[in-house]
Structure 1
C-alpha cells in the first residue's frame, strides 16, 4: 500500500490504491445497483447535436466539491454558461451546444502523487471522489465510498440542472466509478456510461495501451480526448482508429491544449493531417491548461491575455487549414473569484478570493470577455457554417 492509501506504483494509470479491496468491491456494487444518472436517450441526443455544425461550449469547474454543491452555486454556474453561449451565438450567428464540467467532475489526475507543506508529506488531493482537499493525514486517505458520495452529489446537481439545457460531462478518470455505471441498452444493445452525457480522456491517460482508451472505445457516449504539445499527428491517427474507426460525426472530439507559444504550429500540423485523412472529428481549443503559471508567492494562476493568445492561434490554424473550429473548453466559476489575472500576475489580487481546490478558474467577467472574443473569431466561418447546416438538413 502506498503513502496513506495512495500508491505511487500505479501512477501511469492515475488510479488510487484503495486501502481495503473488499470496500472497493462493496462501493462498486453500490454504484452498479444505482439508477442511471443520465438516460441513454439524452446521451444519444447530445451525440446527435454534436454531429451537427453547432459550436461546442464545454466549460465549468476545475474540480467540483461536495461542499459547494448547492442550488445557488449550480445556478450561478449555469447562468454563466448560458450567458457565454448566448454571447457566442449573438456575435457569430452560429448555434451553440452547451456541455458543463458539472455533475461528476469529482476526480483529478495530479502531476505529483505527494504534496509537501512545512516538512509534512501527504498524498496529493485527487478530487472529492477519492480524498479530501484538507491537508491532514486523515482527510488525504483514499476512501472508495467517496465514489458513492460523488454519485449521490451528482444526482443532487442534476435535480438543480433540470430544464437548464446544459449537458453534463467529466473526465473519465476513476474506472472504479465509471465501469459499474456502464450498462447495455435494452433497445439497441449498445453500452452507455450513465454517469454523464459526455466523457473525456485526459492528456495523462490517453495512452493507446492504457485502460482509459480501452474503456472509452467500448461505450457509445460522445468521447473527447485532451491533446497536449507532446502529441504527434500519428498519435491522433491511432486514437481516431480506436475511438472512431467508422468516422461517425458526433462521436469524437480532440481538445487541443498546447500552450500559447506553440499552439499555432502544433494545431496546424494536427489539422492538416485530419484534413488529409477526411476525418469528421470535432476540434476544440482548451486555452487554459497549457498556460498555467506560478506567482512569486507560489500560487497557480493563469493570465487572460495568454488564454486569448492561444485562442487566436487555434482559430488561425483552423482558418489556414480550412477546418471549422468546433468548440472551446474552459475552466470557469460562477462566483467572483480571483484565481486568474488579466495581464500581470499580482499576488495581492490573487489573495482576495482564491477558492479553487485545484486549478485557477475564470470569473464571470473574464469568461464573458473570452466569450465575446470567440464570437468575433467565429464570424469568418459564419457563411460556411450556414451552408453546412443547409447541406446536412438535406441528407
Structure 2
C-alpha cells in the first residue's frame, strides 16, 4: 500500500515549500503518520452519499469559510462565528430555496495557500511569500518567512481543536433550529440582511410551533451534519494523514472529509492529481476559465474512473465576465459523456482586484453576477446548479465592497483583517444566501 500511495513522489509537485531541512521534515511527517485521524472514513462516505444526492439534483452544497485559517483563529469565538454564518446561510437556502443543504466548511485544515509568486517585496526587501500558517509566518521578517516543518504539527493540533469545537456546537444544542434568533443577536441584526433574516426566523418559529402541536419533533431539528474540507496543497501533510480503512482496506485522507485540488495544481500529470486518484474521499477540483472540456474529461477519467456519484465535484471559478462564455462547453460535454459530477460555483477567486488603497478586494455585485451566470448556464442546459463555494468570516470585517449594508472602497482599511484573500462578512454572506435562494427557486 505504501508504494501505491507514494506514486505521486515521482511527478512534479507545484506550490510546495522549500523546506530548509529535509531531515526535520521527515521527522515531522513520521510523527504525523501515527497520530489519530481527524475524521473517520465512514464520515467521508456519508458525505459522498450526500454529494451523490447533489449529483442527482436532489440537494445543494454550501461550502465556505476562511480563505486561509490561522492558528490564532482556532478559538471558541472564532469557530462559533464562522459556524454561525454558515448555519444562517444554510437556513436561508433550506427555507427560502426549498432545498436540502449539504454543509461543508473550509475549516480545520485550510492552513496553506498557493501563491502566484514565490517571493514578496516590500520597500526593496525581498522575502519568501507567506504560504499559510502551516508553512511559515505572516510577519514580514526573515525569521518568520522561513518554512518550518514544525508548523505541520501545529496545523494538525489546531485542526483537532477546531473539529472538537465544531462537533460540540453542531451536536450540543447550538445548531438546534430553535436557536435561529440567537444566531442573529449581534452586529448583523441591524443590517438589511439581518432584518430580512429575522422575518424568516419568525416564520420558522411558527412552523416549528405547528409541528410541535402536531406531535412532530424530528431529530434533524436539534443538530446538523457538518463536514470539513481544505485544499490538499502540502502533499507531505496530507500523505502523512492518509490511513487504510479497517472496514474496506481502502485509503482515506483523514485530515478532512473532503479535499480539493486547486486551479494551479490540477495538471493531469501532476503529483496532486496522482495522489488524489489514490484516496477514497470525496474530492473536488477547481476549474478556471482556461479549462477545456478535454481537460475536464481527462480529470474525470483519472479521478473517477468508476463514475461513482458523489466522488468528484467540479468547482468552477471563472470570473463574472467569463462564466457565461466558458462554462457552457464544459458542462455540456462532461454531461454528454455521462460523467456523474456535482457542479458548484466558486464566485470569489475570479473577481479579485486591487483597490486604489492597495487592498486586495472583491465587489459583492461581481460575486453575485458570477453566481447568476452559473445558474443561467445550468438552466439553459437543463443541468443541476449544485452549490456555491465562498470565502467568508463571521466577523465584522471590511474586506469586500458592496452589499445592502454598503461598504465602499474607502472603508476597506477600517477592519481589513484577512491573512490572504478578502472575505465576505456575515451581512454580505446573508445577502448572498437570499440571492442564491431566489436563483435556485427560479432555476
TM beyond 0.5: yes
Secondary structure, counterpart of 2:103 in structure 1? strand
The yes-or-no answer on 1:234 pairing with 2:239 is: no
Match of 1:6 in 2: none
Distance in 1 separating the partners of 2:428 and 2:33: 40
Displacement after TM superposition at 1:259 (Å): 0.6
Corresponding residue for residue 247 of structure 1: 307
Q: Residues 343-385 of structure 1: CA distance to partner in whole angstroms, max 9, x if unpaired?
A: 798443001100001000000000001011111111134xxxx
**CA deviation map 1:73-125 (0-9, x unaligned):** 00000010011011011111110000000000000000111001111111110
* Candidates 102, 108, 114, aligned match of 2:113: 108
1:265 and 1:91 map into 2 onto residues whose CA distance is 29
Which is worse superposed, 12-21 or 90-99?
12-21
Correspondences of 1:26-175 after superposition (within 5 Å): 26-52=27-53, 53-163=58-168, 164=170, 165-175=225-235
1:377 counterpart residue number: 439
Residues 89, 96 of structure 1: 8 Å contact kept: yes
Report SS of the residue matched to 2:320.
Answer: coil
Count matched residues. 372
C-alpha distance after superposition, 1:205-254 (max 9, x if no partner): 00111000000010000000000011100000000000111111100000
Aligned position for 1:362? 424
CA distance in 2, matches of 1:38, 1:54: 23
| Partner residue in 1 for 2:390 | 330
Aligned mates of 1:23, 1:12 — CA distance in 2: 20
Aligned match of 1:256: 316
Q: Runs ≥4 in structure 1, deviation > 2 angstroms? A: 343-348
- Flag structure 1 segments of 5+ consecutive residues without an equivalent: 1-9, 382-395
Residue aligned with 1:109, SS: coil
Determine the C-alpha separation between the residues in 2 that align with 1:303 and 1:16: 31
Partners of 2:421 and 2:350 lie apart in 1 by 12
Q: Would the aligned equivalents of 2:12 and 2:271 in 1 still touch at CA under 8 Å?
A: no
1-structure distance, mates of 2:337, 2:99 = 26
Matched, 1:298 2:303: no
Aligned match of 2:402: 342
Root-mean-square deviation over aligned CA pairs: 1.4
Cα distance between partner residues in 1 of 2:348 and 2:407: 15
TM-score by length of 1: 0.92
Measured after TM superposition, the shift of residue 275 of structure 1 is 2.1
Asked if structure 1 preserves the Cα contact closer than 8 Å seen for 2:13 and 2:272, the reply is no
Structure ranking higher on relative contact order (CA contacts 8 Å, 6+ apart): 2
User: 1:86 & 1:192 partners in 2: Cα distance?
Assistant: 31
TM-score normalised to structure 2 length:
0.82
Q: Is the 8 A contact 1:303 1:345 kept in 2?
A: no
Q: 1:191, 1:54 → 2: CA distance?
A: 27
Deviation for aligned residue 1:297: 1.7
Corresponding residue SS for 1:255: strand
**Residue 330 of structure 1 aligns to a residue in which SS?**
strand
CA contact (8 A) 1:78 1:166 kept: no
Distance 1:116 1:251 in 2: 41
Greater Rg by CA: 2
2:283 corresponds in structure 1 to: 223
Query: What SS is found at the alignment partner of 1:224?
Result: strand
**What SS class does the counterpart of residue 372 from structure 2 fall into?**
helix
Q: Deviations over 1:270-317 (max 9, x none)?
A: 111122112210000001100001001211000000001101001000
Which of 193, 212, 220 is the matching residue for 2:253? 193
Is the 1:295–1:345 Cα contact (8 Å) retained in structure 2? Answer: no
**Alignment check: 8 A CA contact 2:12 2:270 kept:** no
2:199 counterpart residue number? none
C-alpha distance in 2 between matches for 1:369 and 1:346:
16
Superposition deviation, residue 262 in structure 1: 1.1
Mapped to 1, the partners of 2:390 and 2:269 lie a distance apart of 28
